[in-house]
């Protein structure tokens, strides 16, 4: 028997003996001396084998008084169980992809002590060479690599059948903005942010490898749903292309769960897995046998429909969406939450690259998310052929390469984003100080680092608290510098336009979703700042809605170009523009057609609104009084009607503070 096997047998025997001693101690306190003797033996043995955690736990049990001894004994038994488990795990090779020498040295040392063979490289090309030469079971990828993006490496590993089954752990940088979260890394099995506690990585690997690598993710099969995974989807697409003629269409759709992070937070991991499994089953049974349904990401599924054009594919999607959207999840408190799925559809042919097709479908999916956020009552599918009101976000672009700026402007304007190009950091900063933008795009190619300087100066702009930023960089040094300045995302040169467009869509939707997790948005329009603050605070304390504050009709009309509230509370007596004139001036945008108006009038006045295309839901009393205002709003809006026995919802102050700072800065500017 090998030394490792003997050690494992000894640990298991000690665990059994100590567990028996704990049982005897609980039955008879007189057995405590014998139990303490066992603990002393384990402490001496662990110290000899340099098992630090076990040694410390045993010392704590040895020195514990009688009342604390059982608890210390349980802690020691727990650590012994973990150690036995570690030694029972089949040790697969671990590939570390990172240039961070201190991190690699520390992680490699601990992995090798645990018995894991380790290989290291700094580049994606090195990964290719290593995987061609030997079998690897785990790949730990630093997202910041020299002249490369670790996210792209993970994508490449997942779409190849030989590496689709790898257990992949992503190591991400610490962001000053705190915005780029693991949900943007859907293909990584685990995510850890720097500075990393390497023991946490070891624990994660031990748990994921507990049943051995042969029980892990299959090369072409998603373990949760049983559907093909992304690598198998790529293979299937290539096979379908070989059988199609030049005139045969190939429809490709992405289905995604809207507000997935909210559902996960409320439902927990078990409910999440059950939901994913159920969606996979519904999709698999709802399409033709010739269609391919595959798990694409954490909350996305892909469907390939060979021979179907836009019309046929859209009809198939519209048929299945109501079934998908009839589902609910039940939280631990018994509350039922609706599940909303959206779809993005595009059509390719036998020459189309799936990377490009998928990027287009993903853009459509995020457009569908955008509409579902503001109108959840519709089954949203967006495609090349379906005309919907496009997004109206305003993007500030300050790039060193005029040709790149022109190309990006053309691409993004086709999505009907409003693009403003700036030739100097000063002009860009002046514009950002005067009006609200949704996104800033810059790069690191300026001779005097103007892009970085702009990011640094943005922190002092009160109007841009909700601004998202993305920088195009040449390598890892640019990534690290921009992350310290609070950038929300980055892209590596040379730029893939289709992937960059998808990243922008994702970033803008995350901006929309992360402002808070409220179920609805309410805008309050008033020229009196005290009244705005009173109404906004009263609504915000409910914890169920996102509150927007508009200082007067001009500010409100500008914000409505991209704010899209569900309800709008309007003071009918504002100077400069009457309430009726304001209602007629609201932009005729698709997502504003369902915005419902609540008019605010003095108690002694009967509200009167002449014929207008805008739906007036009802009225509240002006000036506002907190208790009366909340009562009147609850009577008008069903989603605000909490049960009297429910606990007060948690209140996050940051969204309201941003709104208050914004209107105060407007007031100061107007002087």
Indicate the DSSP class of residue 648. P
Share of the chain above pLDDT 90, in %: 18
* Residue 478: per-residue pLDDT: 85
* Same domain for 80 and 126: no
* Residue 537: per-residue pLDDT: 87
Closest CA to 79 of 199, 255, 234, 230: 199
CB contact at 8 A, 451 and 575: no
- Using one digit for the tens of pLDDT, what is the confidence trace for 193-217? 888 888 888 888 877 775 444 444 4
* Residue 50: per-residue pLDDT: 67
The most confident of the ranges 396-410, 501-515, 565-579 is 396-410
Q: Is the pLDDT of residue 403 over 50?
A: yes
Boundary of a domain, candidates 514, 547, 570: 514
CATH of the domain at 348: 3.30.70.270
- Using one digit for the tens of pLDDT, what is the confidence trace for 272-325? 888 898 899 899 889 988 899 999 988 899 999 999 999 999 999 999 999 898
Average pLDDT, the chain: 80
- Using one digit for the tens of pLDDT, what is the confidence trace for 615-633? 788 889 999 998 899 889 9
Boundary of a domain, candidates 181, 215, 249: 215
* Same domain for 156 and 67: no
Can you list the alpha helix ranges (DSSP code H) found in 28-136? 32-48, 52-63, 69-88, 101-113, 124-133
Q: Look up the domain containing 154 and give its range.
A: 94-215
* Residue 562: per-residue pLDDT: 67
CB contact at 8 A, 473 and 490: yes
404 lies in a domain? yes
* Residue 237: per-residue pLDDT: 92
388 lies in a domain? no
- Using one digit for the tens of pLDDT, what is the confidence trace for 493-502? 888 787 788 7
* Same domain for 544 and 650: yes
Q: Is the pLDDT of residue 642 over 70?
A: no
* Residue 359: per-residue pLDDT: 86
Top pLDDT among 629 and 645 is at: 629
* Same domain for 578 and 593: yes
* Same domain for 524 and 510: no
Top pLDDT among 612 and 192 is at: 192
Average pLDDT over residues 469-483: 85
378 lies in a domain? no
* Residue 391: per-residue pLDDT: 56
Name the domain count of the chain. 5
* Same domain for 53 and 143: no
Q: Is the pLDDT of residue 139 over 90?
A: yes
CATH of the domain at 53: 1.20.120
* Residue 182: per-residue pLDDT: 43
263 lies in a domain? yes
* Same domain for 524 and 471: no
Closest CA to 119 of 91, 92, 95: 95
Average pLDDT over residues 643-647: 39
CATH of the domain at 124: 3.40.50.2300
Burial class (CB in 10 A: 0-12, 13-18, 19+), 411: middle
The most confident of the ranges 26-40, 284-298, 360-374 is 284-298
The model's pTM is: 0.59
* Same domain for 322 and 282: yes
* Same domain for 246 and 206: no
Boundary of a domain, candidates 88, 110, 141: 88
* Same domain for 343 and 256: yes
* Same domain for 532 and 666: yes
Indicate the DSSP class of residue 623. S
224 lies in a domain? no
The most confident of the ranges 26-40, 71-85, 453-467, 647-661 is 26-40
373 lies in a domain? no
- Using one digit for the tens of pLDDT, what is the confidence trace for 424-461? 988 998 888 777 788 899 999 998 889 998 888 876 66
Closest CA to 507 of 521, 489, 525: 489
- Using one digit for the tens of pLDDT, what is the confidence trace for 373-396? 766 556 789 898 876 655 567 899
386 lies in a domain? no
* Same domain for 480 and 427: yes
372 lies in a domain? no
Residue showing tokens 């680092």: 449
* Residue 217: per-residue pLDDT: 46
């Amino acid at each position: 028997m090998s030394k490792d096997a003997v050690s494992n047998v000894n640990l298991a025997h000690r665990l059994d003996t100590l567990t028996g001693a704990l049982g005897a101690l609980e039955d008879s306190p007189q057995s405590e001396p014998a139990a303490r003797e066992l603990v002393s033996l384990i402490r001496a043995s662990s110290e000899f084998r340099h098992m630090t955690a076990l040694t410390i736990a045993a010392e704590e049990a040895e020195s514990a008084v009688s009342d604390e001894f059982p608890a210390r004994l349980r802690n020691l038994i727990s650590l012994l169980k973990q150690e036995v488990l570690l030694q029972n795990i089949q040790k697969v090779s671990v590939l570390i992809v990172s240039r961070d020498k201190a991190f690699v040295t520390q992680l490699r040392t601990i992995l090798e002590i645990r018995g894991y063979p380790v290989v290291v490289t700094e580049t994606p090309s090195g990964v290719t060479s290593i995987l061609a030469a030997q079998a690897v079971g785990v790949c730990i990828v630093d997202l910041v690599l020299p002249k490369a993006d670790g996210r792209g490496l993970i994508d490449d590993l997942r779409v190849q059948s030989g590496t689709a089954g790898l257990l992949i752990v992503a190591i991400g940088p610490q962001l000053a903005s705190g915005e780029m979260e693991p949900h943007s890394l859907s293909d990584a099995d685990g995510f850890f942010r720097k500075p990393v506690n390497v023991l946490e990585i070891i624990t994660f690997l031990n748990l994921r490898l507990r049943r051995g690598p042969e029980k892990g993710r299959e090369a072409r099969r998603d373990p949760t749903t049983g559907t093909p995974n992304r690598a198998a989807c790529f293979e299937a697409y290539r096979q379908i292309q070989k059988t199609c003629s030049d005139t045969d269409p190939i429809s490709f759709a992405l289905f995604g769960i809207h507000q997935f992070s909210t559902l996960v937070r409320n439902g927990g991991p078990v409910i999440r897995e059950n939901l994913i499994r159920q969606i996979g089953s519904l999709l698999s049974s709802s399409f033709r046998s010739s269609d391919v349904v595959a798990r694409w990401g954490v909350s996305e599924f892909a469907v390939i429909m060979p021979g179907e054009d836009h019309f046929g594919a859209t009809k198939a999607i519209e048929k299945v969406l109501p079934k998908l959207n009839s589902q609910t999840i039940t939280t631990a408190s018994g509350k039922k939450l609706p599940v909303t799925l959206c779809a993005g559809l595009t059509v390719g042919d036998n020459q189309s690259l799936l990377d490009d097709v998928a990027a287009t479908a993903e853009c459509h999916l995020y457009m569908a998310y955008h509409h579902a956020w503001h109108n959840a009552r519709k089954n949203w599918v967006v495609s090349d052929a379906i005309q919907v009101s496009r997004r109206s976000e305003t993007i500030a672009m300050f790039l060193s390469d005029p040709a790149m700026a022109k190309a990006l402007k053309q691409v993004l304007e086709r999505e009907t984003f409003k693009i403003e190009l700036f030739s100097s950091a000063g002009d860009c900063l002046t514009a950002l100080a005067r009006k609200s933008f949704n996104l800033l795009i810059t790069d690191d190619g300026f001779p005097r680092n103007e892009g970085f300087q702009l990011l640094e100066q943005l922190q002092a702009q009160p109007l841009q608290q909700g601004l998202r930023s993305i920088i195009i960089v040449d390598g890892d040094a640019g990534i690290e510098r921009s992350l310290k300045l609070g950038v929300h995302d980055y892209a590596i040169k040379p730029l893939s336009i289709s992937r960059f467009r998808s990243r922008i869509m994702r970033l803008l939707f995350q901006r929309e979703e992360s402002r808070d997790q409220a179920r609805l948005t309410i805008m309050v329009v008033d020229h009196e700042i005290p009244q705005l603050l009173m109404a906004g605070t009263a609504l915000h304390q409910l914890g169920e809605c996102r509150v927007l504050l508009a200082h007067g009709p001009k500010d409100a009309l500008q914000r409505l170009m991209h704010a899209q509230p569900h309800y709008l509370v309007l003071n009918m007596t504002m100077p400069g523009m009457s309430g009726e004139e304001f209602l007629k001036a609201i932009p005729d945008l698709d997502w504003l057609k369902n915005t419902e108006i609540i008019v605010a009038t003095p108690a002694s006045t009967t509200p009167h609104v002449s014929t207008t295309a805008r739906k007036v839901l009802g009225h509240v009393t002006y000036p506002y009084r907190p208790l009366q205002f909340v009562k009147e709003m609850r009577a008008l809006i069903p989603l605000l009607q909490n049960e009297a026995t429910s606990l007060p919802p948690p209140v996050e102050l940051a969204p309201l503070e941003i709104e208050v700072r914004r209107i105060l800065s407007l007031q100061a500017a107007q002087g």
